Structure formats: C-alpha cells, structure tokens
A and B are shown apart, each in its own frame.
Chain A
Amino acid sequence: MNPYIANTADDVRAMLDVIGVKSIDALFADIKPSHAPRSFNLPGGLSEFEVMERLRHLAAKNTGALVPFIGGGYYDHYVPAACSAIISRGEFYTAYTPYQPECAQGTLQALFEYQSGICALTGMDVANASLYDGGTALYEAMMMAIRITGRKKVVMDGGVNPIYRKLIKSYTHNLHFEFVETPVVHGQSDRAAITKLLDKDTAAVIIQNPNFFGTVDDHADIADLARAAGAISIASVYPIALGLLKTPAEMGIDIVTGEGQSLGLPLNFGGPYLGFMAARKKYIRQMPGRIVGETVDAQGRRCFVNTIQAREQHIRREKATSNICTNVALCATQASVFMALLGKQGFCQLARLNLDKAEFARQELGKIKGVEVKRSSPTFNEFTVSLPKNAADVVEAMIPRGFAAGFPLGRYYAGMENYLLVAVTEKRTKGEIIAYAKALAEVLA
C-alpha cells in the first residue's frame, strides 16, 4: 500500500489499455537487461506512525538541554509562532519557482516585500530574492565583483567568518584568482595591510560587520579606499545588528551579503538558511539569482514578476551570472514575515536587547579571575574572551554543567587556542548569564 499513489489495479489496467501496452514493465523497454540494477537492497516501508516514532527516538539522541552561548554567525533567536504558521501554508510551500506570474502573485509579492525589507535594513538600493546561505552569498558577491571590475585579486579581511573563507577557497581553487587575507589587529580590520594590497588588479575588498570576533566597526574608510582603487567593497553583515548599527549603505559599501538565519529561521543543524544580497542599483545586472520586479498587467494593475532574467542560467546557460536556480524562496518569505512582525520599533528593541544582554554577560565574565575581556573594541551580541586555559577544554568541561559555552577560536585561528567566542541573544536571561559565569568560574578555578 502506498498512500501517495492513487492508481488502483483497475486504473492501471485501463491506462495500459489506452497506452496500448500489456504491462508497466513494457514502458521500461528502453532500459535494457544489461542496465538492470545490480542491487536494490533497501528496507521495506513503514507506516507514518512508525517513521515518526523512529525519528522521535533519533531526535531524543540530540540535546535540547544545553543553554546556548554559541553563535559564530548562527544564533539562537526566538522564532515567532506566526512565522512558522504562515510558511506552513501549502499555498506557499508546495508551489514552485514563480514561472507563471498570474498564478504565483503570492510568492512574487512576498519576495518583493522581502527584497524591500532587506533594502530597508541595509540601506542599499536593490536586493535579490535570496541565495542559499551567508557563505555562498559572499562567494557570489565576490564573483560579481570580479565580473564588474574584470580584475582577479581579492583582499579578504581575516575577520570574515572562517567557514565562509574556507568555502570560497574551495570554489575558486581551479580559477586563476589571487586571494589575499589580511590580519585582524586588536579585533579590527587592518587598514594598513588593506591599503598596501589595494592596487589596479584588485577586484574586491571583503569585510564583515560585526566581524567573526564580534567586533563592531565602521568600514567607511575601507569603502573609500576600495573605491579610490577602482575595487568593489563587499560587506557580510548580521541582520539583527542592523537594528542599531550603521548601515553598509551609510559606509559606502557596494555589495552587501549576509546570513539571514536570524530573521525567523530555526537553527536546523545548519540549514536551510537564507543568503541575502543587496547592492547599489548600478550593479543589478551583474547580480546572481532571481530578482522580483514590479510592473503592471494588461489592465494597469500593479503586479510582480521575475525580472532581468537575461542574467540567469535558464536563458544565458554558460554565460549566466551564476549557476543558481532553486534558491530559498520559502526562507525569504519567512524572513519577510519576521521583519513585518517585529516592525520598525520591534527590530530596534530586539537589537537593543541583544546588545544589552551581551554587554551584561561581558561584564560578568570579565569579573572572573583569569578571564580577560577586551574593552577597546565595541561589540554587539557576541564577544571574545581570553581564558587562562585551552578554550576547547573549557567548553568541554562546561557541557556537563548544562552550557554550550561558546565557540573556541583555536579551531579556525592558529595561536588563539585560549580564546572563546561567546554569543548572547535576547533569549538568554539574566539568571542564565549569572549561572553561566558561575559555572565558568568553577571550571577555571
């Protein structure tokens, strides 16, 4: 019995008669006996109830019990119930890419509103309808800069998420690009190093704000330097921080990308997430992915369509701006719901809560003997502390005490084995922060 197939034995017989063959097997005549599977050794099917029990059992093997102080670009924010409820509507999640705009205005308008929301947050002119995630969005921005400038050197700030940097390196391994990383000095971008590297071959300068260490910066000077050298400035940003922080547009940045998981998406063990991209309007024709545009129908009514499609693979094939086809439209819709729910005031309040709670945690941790908190550089909801011991070991010791205590920077930064990256979102209570500080003090004692 297969609940997803409607054909009965009678249907099959009647359909085979119409087709004019005797059996379903006859429909597979082009598959020769030599093409037959050498094996197809899979378990028998289960009932829905049995599958759910099995998955419940597997889910129980994961922990929901650790209080998370871990971020690294992916944060434990609250997901409003209305977000999940709306994207659970079959009209949204069982539709396809809106190729027929007349029967897809729901998806198209939601994506237009999403693009507008991303533009409002970043201050940029235009946004696309989403890319896979923050890392791949940054890669796409870099490729975009290479196309715009026709140059092949990329200067990457060491404060950019090391996972993003690793994947960009894999993607560009076979392409002949020069890829230079600049160090982080006192938690911030190294202006002198960037200045020295910028030349007539530089396609892009890539920075992140707040950077991987949690440091908040004003990159307006770097955007200026890039522009003077004829290079494109690219910023990877954290959308929740934009509730308060200077926008990339105010800094003069050319292309903005980021991880949109924080905009109402669950952590989901790494995906699906949401890569967003916004840019100055003059670069729109070099953007990758779908873009939804406003227009009118034959009666002059406002409506929305996928537009500037001459950039895309289904039209341009190997000359397209990107190979991307399926993006993450549903995640973008979810983010759009999130931005609407929080709204102008709520979004600021959310950012403020994150900032204040993290600052409180930073002060509490700073009181622990042997823990050093850098006060010189401002932070948002994540910060770096130095510990008197190996941070990976400290995190391990914090687990039985009920905490995912943060991310040990030694994993991606040689020489930073004693540094711990700590994230504090609006969900952490004062009580949890104090308990965390107490547990850390015990572990370090």
Chain B
Amino acid sequence: MSATPNIPVTPPVKLIFEKSSAGRQGFKLPASDVPLKAALADKYLRKVPAELPEVSELDVVRHFTQLSQKNFSVDANFYPLGSCTMKYNAKFTEKAAAMPGFADLHPLLPQLKGGERYVQGALEVLFDCEKWLAEITGMKAFTMQPLAGAHGELTGIMLMAAYHKARGNKKKYVIIPDSAHGTNPASAAVAGYQIISVPSDKKGGMDIEKLKAVLTDEVAGLMMTSPDTHGVFNSSVSEIAALIHAVDGIMYYDGANLNATMGRCRPGDIGFDVVHLNLHKTFGTPHGGGGPGSGPVGVGEKLEKFLPVSRVIRRQDGSFALNYDYPDSIGYIASFYGNFAIILRAYAYMLLLGGDGLKQTSDHAVLNANYILSRLKGHYQAAFDRICMHECLFSASKQTERGVHAIDIAKFLIDQGIHPPTVYFPLTVKEAIMIEPTETESRETMDVFVEAMIRADAFTKTDPDAFHDMPRTMPISRPDETKAAREMNVNFFAPKA
C-alpha cells in the first residue's frame, strides 16, 4: 500500500525581487499638475532609492496568484484546525466591507467639530454590534476596539487591574488553567501580573481542589476558556466563580470557543465579569493567513466604568456620537474604534443569521465535532472519554508507540488535501491532535477526513517509516526549521549567513 501517489511538485516561485528588471513599473501615477518642484536639503534625503522590485502589473499579479496557489485555505480545503474555528467566510461580507461609504471613511472625521454627522452609519454599525454581542454573551456593555483576541485579553486584564486599583485591592496573581492558550499567561504578564497555573483533572476540567489551594486575597482573577481547550464545558463554572468572587477576584472569559455555546449559555449569566470574543473565529470573519482579527471586550456592571474610550453612545434624538468623558476609563487601548472593516463583516454575518441562526451554528458545530469523535475514537486515543463540545481532542499515543507522531499524521493529511488539525496543543495532552470541524462542513467532507485518519492509523502499522518524508505532494517537503532559526535570514537584502 502506498500512502500517496507521487504528484509532480509545482515549480518554485522566485522572489519578486529576483524578477526585477530595471525600468519596469507596475503602476502608473498621475503627472504632477502643480507648477513647482519642492526642494529638500540633502541632509533630509535618502542617498539611494529603496531597492523595491521593478516589475510590470502582470508580473505582480501572476507572482501573487502563483504564491496563493501554494496555500491551503478554507475556500479550497477542509481546515479542521482546533481552537481556530476555521469556518466558511461568507463572500457577501467581503463585498459589504468594500462599500465606499465605509472603506473610504477617515477615522479622524468624527473627531472634527461637526464631523460626527458624516459618520452616522459607521457609528450605528459599532453601536448595534455592541448590542448584539452584549445580548449573545449576557454582558452589560462592549468595546469593539481590541484589534485581535490577545489584544482583547490585554484590555480585559487592564480592566481587571483598574477595578482592583479603584477598590484599593492589593493583587498580584492571575490564575490560569494549564490547558489555556499561550496568549492568556502572556497577556496577564504584559499587564503586570504574575501567573499561577492550575492543573486539569482527569475529566479535562479545572481541578477545583488545586484551585482552592492557590486561592488567596492576592488573586486578581481567573482566566478561563469556556468550553476549554479540551473541548469540555466545565459544569463547575458557577462554583469556580463563587470562589473567585469570594476573594473579590474577577472572572475572565476567553471567548475563543464561543462557537460551541451560542444560545445555550451566556458567560454573563454564569459568573463571568469580563469577556473577549474573536470575531475571526465565532463570527465568520476571515483569518487572513494570520489576521487581521478583532477581539471585542464585554463587561458586566462592575467593570463598565473602566471601559476604554472612546465609547459610542446614542443621543436622545437618535443620533450617534463618540463620548470620551469617562473619568474612570483605562484610556486609549487602540488608535481608533477597532478593526472596523472586520467588525462590519461580523455585523453582516450576525444580521444574516439572526438569533436562531447563531444558536443553530453552535448546535451543528458541536454535532459535527462529536460525529468525528465517535468515528475516530476506535482508532485514536480520545483524550477524554465523554461528549465533547465544538472540538474533539485525541492523543496520537498509540501511533507514537509505532514511531509515528502527531506531526507525522499531520503531514500525511496534507498529502490528502486536508489541512491538519492543531497538533501538540493543548500542552496538557501528549501528542495532542485537536480537531474542530465547525458547523459549515458537510458529513461527506468529514467522512473523507475520518477515512484519511483511519488510513493513516492503518499505515502506522504497516509502514511507519514512510511518514517521515511526508508530505510528498506539496511544493516543498519538510523544512529545516533549525537552519531557519540559526541563520535568521529574514530579509532578502541581508548578507546571507
């Protein structure tokens, strides 16, 4: 049995700089229509022009089109990357974001006297989005400003710090489960807190006894992803919230996994004081190969007065305005009002689906994940033998005994035209394989994936060594990561190591 046919690889694409030919230019600028040529003293001028490539427009278009063809993407491939919610991104939201009335809007316009009336539509989008997200999460108010999930986390922790400062609390620690995303401890640390990591129990939830053991008056709060990165909804969440609140701590909800529970459970109702959401996960905005994202933050009553400025308000006459007059605010956390064009896409997505459609989204996301879990658990070790939420977690422990690791299975899947699941995360599970199909995938697609996973498992028994030179069908085989990190060639123009 052969794992994959050997398909000819696509030829390498030279760097755009290597295609340069003196005298070419890919964009035509207008001739100057002003009757002067300004003079700047030499000391202000660069000595030589920047060595940008000299290429025609077709050169550029073909270059980037060829590059794009070297990517897997949701549009072309099943992409069950756990924890990332790689759902389909509706095409009309792209069209909505490109409308000139939004795309051409200068962010300083509303800061001009009389300028607000020229951005009423944009302010209404922000205002309405805040209201939708507040209702979805059960929070009192939202800021749309944070520019990505981790930026939302930092904002949330800053709100936590402002709360404690205002109450005269002396707090030093933020508690974070060991299954959390790396951004949680990093964000809390950037905001000035020390981290206490709490281990998970055997069923994948937070170990409450261990939590109690580290809980002191110096604990500022707890960051919790719900459902967590084990794909488990922690039934003890209210008990945990009561423990944290008893030391005047803040319950922080990392909304990375909100796609599991819309219409089923709202963080605001179960004890959370502050939440961040990832519009690029739950609300259907594209991931862009690594951003731009959007990480709005919602708060309950306790934290509302600390929200960053500006805030969007609706006046008595129904018009919208930006208000900066909040004396307890943590201040500016972004230059403007958030990643507006991303927020607009999420808004369009919510309007189309409505409340029922959002609930249905979560229902099918959970159904799909459990379907994969059920079909694969006879072949791979399920990390936790229970119903999962929107993602299912396996360990490649059995396959590892045969010399095939999670990363090898990932590379096998690439040869099947499938983007691999997340591997080696969460850190709590050895050889983790974390699968998140999302609600937008069909049973047929998932069956193809499941069968590929089953073939991979069978293959670990017959020819484990064959995995090590996979993938074979891609433009490249496995890269030498050590060489990259040692030589640090990150700029075409730098002298090579």
Contacts and interface: CB of A to CB of B under 8 A. Distances in A.
B95 A52 contact: yes
26 contacts: A18-B375, A35-B270, A42-B136, A45-B354, A58-B125, A102-B475, A103-B72, A104-B70, A105-B70, A109-B15, A113-B492, A116-B492, A119-B491, A136-B147, A242-B46, A268-B339, A269-B336, A270-B334, A295-B481, A295-B483, A299-B477, A318-B185, A318-B186, A331-B291, A333-B64, A411-B111
B356 interface: yes
A290 B1 CA distance: 39
Given A7-B443, A126-B490, A320-B186, A41 B290 contact: no
A107 B289 contact: yes
Contacts of A66: 109, 118
Contacts of A174: 158, 161, 165, 191-192
Q: Among A44, A47, A62, which residue has the most Cβ atoms of chain B within 10 A?
A: A62
Given A91-B71, A266-B341, A61 B478 contact: no
Contacts of A316: 182, 186
Contacts of A5: 360-361, 364, 439-440
Contact of B44 (A218, A292, A363): A218
Contacts of A303: 475-476, 479
A101 B490 contact: no
Interface in B59-108: 60-61, 63-65, 67-77, 79, 81, 84, 86-90, 92, 94-108
Interface stretch (B47-55, B243-251, B397-405, B457-465): B47-55
A212 to B, nearest CB: 12
B341 A86 contact: no
Nearest to A266: B103
B351 A76 contact: no
B122 A93 contact: no
Interface string B471-488: 100111111110111011
Given A61-B121, A70-B108, A270 B338 contact: yes
B130 interface: no
B430 to A, nearest CB: 17
B298 interface: no
Interface stretch (A198-206, A224-232, A347-355, A436-444): A347-355
A408 interface: yes
A393 to B, nearest CB: 7
Given A100-B410, A297-B476, A355-B38, A125 B73 contact: no
Contacts of A369: none
Interface stretch (A152-160, A161-169, A178-186, A189-197): A161-169
B202 interface: no
Given A96-B289, A325-B183, A106 B67 contact: yes
B451 interface: no
Contact of A324 (B150, B353, B484): B150
B64 A110 contact: yes
B288 A58 contact: no
Contact of A326 (B95, B113, B149): B149
A20 B367 CA distance: 12
Contacts of A252: none
A144 interface: no
B326 interface: no
Given A4-B284, A307-B488, A404-B112, A297 B480 contact: yes
B207 interface: no
Nearest to A272: B292
A167 B490 contact: no
A349 B40 CA distance: 15
Given A92-B288, A95-B74, A341-B26, A36 B337 contact: no
A112 B18 CA distance: 13
B497 to A, nearest CB: 10
B192 A38 contact: no
Interface string A35-71: 1111111111111100110111111111110101010
A51 B348 contact: yes
B139 to A, nearest CB: 12
Interface in B111-127: 111-115, 118-122, 124-125
A286 interface: no
Interface in A225-250: 242-247, 250
A327 B94 CA distance: 19
B218 interface: no
Interface residues of B, number: 213
Interface in A376-424: 378, 392-393, 395-396, 399, 404, 407-408, 411
A167 B46 contact: no
B194 to A, nearest CB: 8
B291 to A, nearest CB: 4
B25 interface: yes
Contacts of A266: 103-104, 341
Interface residues of A, number: 212
Contacts of A331: 288, 291-292
A379 to B, nearest CB: 9
Given A92-B68, A105-B70, A344-B49, A429 B108 contact: no
Given A70-B106, A325-B148, A343-B26, A246 B45 contact: yes
A251 B222 CA distance: 46
Given A37-B269, A345-B54, A18 B17 contact: no
- Most A CB contacts (10 A, CB to CB) among B191, B286, B358, B490 go to B490
Interface string B374-391: 110000000000010100
A395 B355 CA distance: 43
A120 interface: yes
A15 B367 contact: yes
- Best-buried of A4, A281, A352, A411 by chain B (most CB within 10 Å): A4
B257 interface: no
Contacts of A245: 40, 44-46
Contacts of A322: 186, 190
A435 interface: no
Contacts of B33: 429-430
Nearest to A216: B44
Given A5-B361, A45-B351, A329-B291, A59 B367 contact: no
Contacts of A411: 111
A135 interface: yes
Contact of B290 (A59, A60, A74, A98): A98
Contacts of B280: 326
Contacts of A244: 40, 45-46
A121 B351 CA distance: 42
B289 A170 contact: no
A112 B74 contact: no
Contact of A91 (B76, B338, B355, B490): B76
B493 A119 contact: yes
Nearest to A274: B292
Interface string B19-38: 01001111101101111111
A74 B106 contact: yes
Interface string A286-321: 000011111111110111110111101111111110
A171 B333 contact: yes
A222 to B, nearest CB: 14
B354 A43 contact: yes
Contacts of B165: 174
A9 interface: no
